[in-house]
Amino acid sequence: MISGGEQTHDSSVVDQVGENIIHHVSNSDIQHPIVHLPHIFGIDMSVTKHVLMLWIVAVLVSVAIIIPIRKYLRQGKGQPSGLANGIESVVQFIRDSIVAPNVGPKWVNTWTPLILTFFFFILFSNAIGMVPIFDVLGVFNRFVLGVPSSDSHNFINGILHGGVTATGNFNVTAALATITFFTIIIAGTKAHGFIQHWKNLAPHGLAWPIYIILIPIEIIGMFVRPFALTMRLAANMTGGHIAILAILSFMAIFADIFQNVLIGVGMAVVSIPMAVAINGLEIIVVIVQAYVFTLLSAVFIGMAINVQH
């Protein structure tokens, strides 16, 4: 909460709370990027908070997943231990319970790496949103180093703008869903050939007037699936954070309504346990959302491979 948005003192507390919540769940402003980069083809390539978070997640996934697996593979055969053992159980669960039943035994090894990449990337992106590292840095900056929040040239003040959950950004989830969209086409093409994949869109052997209705419905369905993936993940990740911030904001809102600081402090007895409980729920949501995205991707890829009308 310390990083607050551009608040004006003449606006009401409720307005400030609203601004603060939006500021904490949205990406940082492109006008104030963390790293300035030039325009390419008219697109500003500057690094915003969510792009920075994606980079951090990519590094974390590499360190926590790729390095232990490569180390285990270098050792040769034998039972994995430690972190590699934990990773193995997750990999086996996703391969045997999510990918194999949907894409079938023939294609399980082809599509498991992609689904696993989705799972670990989304899991880490969701989870890092639960770690208040930037808020702690902000507190340190403000109260230990004594840097005022108005100092826009300070690096830590710069990275406080925007939320930390990259998967709460619709552009990120749309990019992930776009990968799924093309994977569905590639999976169908690999399994049946390019022409047959498109022929498989609609059931065979129906009267031709039915196809006039059915083919557009199937084509719309093709775009609806990635749209559902996009909205579901981003909305779930944003919703939890908004709930936590709104509940914590009760303290400020009630203090303002009754014009009494003690009532605001008293609200902490209700707000903080509720926020802690929702944080606990969010930890489950972090895992469940990564799981649901991978499950749905596997289901949609499987539908292109195992055509059943």
For binding to other proteins (CB under 8 A), which residues are involved? 93, 96-98, 101-102, 217, 220-221, 223-225, 227-229, 231-232, 292, 295-296, 298-300, 302-303, 308-309
Q: With respect to other proteins, which residue has the nearer C-beta, 100 or 164?
A: 100
Nearest to 51 by CA among 175, 181, 152, 226: 175
Rounded Cα distance between 62 and 150, Å, is 36
Rounded Cα distance between 284 and 300, Å, is 24
Question: For residue 58, which amino acid is it?
Answer: A
Phi-psi region of 193 (alpha: psi -120 to 50; beta: other; left: phi over 0): left
Rounded Cα distance between 178 and 212, Å, is 27
Nearest to 93 by CA among 110, 114, 116, 111: 116
Rounded Cα distance between 54 and 27, Å, is 12
Rounded Cα distance between 247 and 163, Å, is 17
> φ and ψ at 75, to 5 degrees?
-70, -15
C-alpha distances in angstroms, 68 versus 72, 73, 74, 88? 6, 9, 10, 10
Rounded Cα distance between 31 and 48, Å, is 9
Question: For residue 298, which amino acid is it?
Answer: A
CB of 290 to other proteins, least distance (A): 14
Q: Where are the beta strands (DSSP E) in 82-184?
A: none
> φ and ψ at 9, to 5 degrees?
-75, -15
Q: With respect to other proteins, which residue has the nearer C-beta, 35 or 224?
A: 224
Phi-psi region of 104 (alpha: psi -120 to 50; beta: other; left: phi over 0): left
DSSP run (H or E) holding 118: helix 108-128
